[in-house]
Amino acid sequence: MRTSRRHRLHVLTALALVAVVALPLSGCGSGSDGSSKTITVAGSTTVLPIAEIAAEKYEAKTGNQVLVSGLGSSAGIEAVINGTADIASSSRDLTDEEASHELVSTVIAHDGIAVIVNDSNPVKNVTLDQLRDIYAGRITNWKELGGPDLPIELVNRDEASGTREAFRSIVMRGEDFDRSAAVLPGTGQVRDVVSRSAGAIGYISIGFVKSDYATTTVRTLRVDGVEATRDNVSSGKYPISRDLYFFTNGDPQGVAYDYIRFVLSDEMSQTIEDAGYIPVNWDQSGSGDGTSSGGEGK
């Protein structure tokens, strides 16, 4: 009796140990489950609203699961290259290095990047050159732009951000950002910080300038005299605009193909418009493409 109980205790201990050791190992073996209809979309936080709403609607429609995460465009492209994601959402085109990997791109929408300042800031207009000088750290006070004697507080995005990449290629044209700028990892945070600091300047996607959630407001600057509106982006007048992309490793197939087609469908274009972007089929004749790809050239 006593022996058997002791024996049982040992067996239990041994089993527990085996379980602990075996669990990770067994995990190693059963790594892939290709049969399930789940795809992963990773990448740009700018594209997040489109990708997520499309995922919800698509799931409701077909039952296939679409996992969407916003890690930044570069992370998403990296994820597709190394196979951890099926689709990369990106708010910028591929870099030369990324382009060497057989990726197939699909333009899903157009977007403009608004330059935002505090409501109390009287400055109304900047030129692209001034904007570059501001972000390169050469113009450091609003009085140089006809405003009050107030230091300019630069707000930049993190390097994973596609918005930063687009802004860099269109506005900075090969110059480096002033590295003493605050680097914030999210659009909403940039908006919030600018809305509360008199001397701050930042840039966010036009879709986020007005937000139902925010309790504070920001004002957009005209760039080269052009107001940051969707009409001006779609007509190609507004200089800081870009395309939003999906990238896949090779031609999209199966659920991924289906999902991308859904994003491009008429059903989604209203959603894309509501989110502040310009759907592709709406502005076929516009020149959003021209502006943005012209800016990409190095």
Partner 1 sequence: MSERDDRDQLLEGLQEPPQIGQIEPNKDEALTRSARELKLMDHSTYVKEGILKNLFLACALIAVAAVALIFVFTLARALPVFTDIGLAGFFSSVWAPSEGRYGILALLAGSALVTVGALVIGVPLAVGCAVYLTQIATRRVTRIVSTAVDLLAGIPSVIYGFFGLVVLRPLIADASGGLGFGALTAWLVLAIMIVPTITTLSMDALNSVDPGVREAAFSMGATRWQTIYKVVLPAAKVGIVNAIVLGMGRAIGETMAVLMIVGNAPVFPASVTSPVATLTSQIALDMGYSSGLHRAALFGMGVVLYIISAGLVGIVRIITGKSERREREASRPATPVAEEGTRSVAEGPSRTGSSAAKAQEGSAQLIKSRLANARKPRVSKRATDAAMTGVFSAAGLVTTAILVLIIGFVVVNGAPQITPAFIFTWPQGVNAEGGIFPTIVSTLYVTALATLFATPIAVLAAVYLAEYAHQGRLVDFIRYATDTLASVPSIVMGLFGYAVFVEACGFGLSMLSAALALALLMLPLIMRTTEDAIRAVPRYIRWGAYGLGATKWQVVSRVVLPAAFPRIATGIVLAIGRAIGETAIVLYTMGQAVNLPLTPLDSGRSMPVHLYLLANDGINMGAAYGTALLLMIMILAFNLFARHISKRGARQKGGK
Of the candidate residues 49, 239, 252, 288, the single one contacting partner 1 (CB under 8 A): 49
Q: How far is CA 213 from CA 205, 210, 239, in A?
A: 16, 9, 28
Which region, judged by CB under 8 A, interacts with partner 1, from 28-36, 105-113, 248-256, 283-291?
28-36
How many residues belong to the site for partner 1 (CB under 8 A)? 62
Task: Say if strands 125-126 and 153-157 run parallel, antiparallel, or are unpaired.
Answer: unpaired
The residue type of 57 is K
φ and ψ at residue 221, rounded to 5 degrees = -90, 145
Of the candidate residues 1, 24, 34, 96, the single one contacting partner 1 (CB under 8 A): 24
Whole-number Å distance between alpha carbons of 74 and 92: 9
Closest CB to partner 1 among 29 and 285?
Answer: 29
Residue 28 touches partner 1, criterion: CB under 8 A: yes
CB 200 within 8 A of CB 134: no
Closest CB to partner 1 among 119 and 176?
Answer: 176
CB 146 within 8 A of CB 123: yes
Give burial (CB, 10 Å; 0-12/13-18/19+) of 211. Answer: middle
3-state secondary structure 79-128: HHHCCCCCEEEECCCCCHHHHCCCEEEEEEEEEEEEEEEECCCCCCEECH
Which region, judged by CB under 8 A, interacts with partner 1, from 52-60, 104-112, 217-225, 281-289?
52-60
Closest CB to partner 1 among 89 and 232?
Answer: 89
CA 208 to chain centre: 12
Closest CB to partner 1 among 19 and 104?
Answer: 19
Of the candidate residues 92, 110, 132, 191, the single one contacting partner 1 (CB under 8 A): 191
Residue 153 touches partner 1, criterion: CB under 8 A: yes
Binding mask 208-237 for partner 1 (x = CB under 8 A): x--x-xx-----------------------
Alpha helices in the chain (DSSP H): 2-29, 48-62, 73-81, 96-99, 128-136, 162-167, 187-196, 230-234, 254-264, 266-274, 288-296
Whole-number Å distance between alpha carbons of 291 and 132: 17
Residue 275 touches partner 1, criterion: CB under 8 A: yes
Residue 155 touches partner 1, criterion: CB under 8 A: yes
Closest CB to partner 1 among 53 and 136?
Answer: 53
Q: How far is CA 150 from CA 143, 147, 196, 220, in A?
A: 7, 8, 15, 18
Min separation Cβ 110 and partner 1, Å: 18
Closest CB to partner 1 among 85 and 286?
Answer: 85
Min separation Cβ 188 and partner 1, Å: 3
List interacting residues with partner 1 (CB under 8 A).
Answer: 6, 9-10, 16-17, 20, 23-24, 27-28, 30-31, 40, 42, 45, 48-49, 52-53, 56, 67-72, 74-75, 78, 84, 151, 153, 155, 158-160, 176, 179-193, 196-200, 208, 211, 213-214, 275
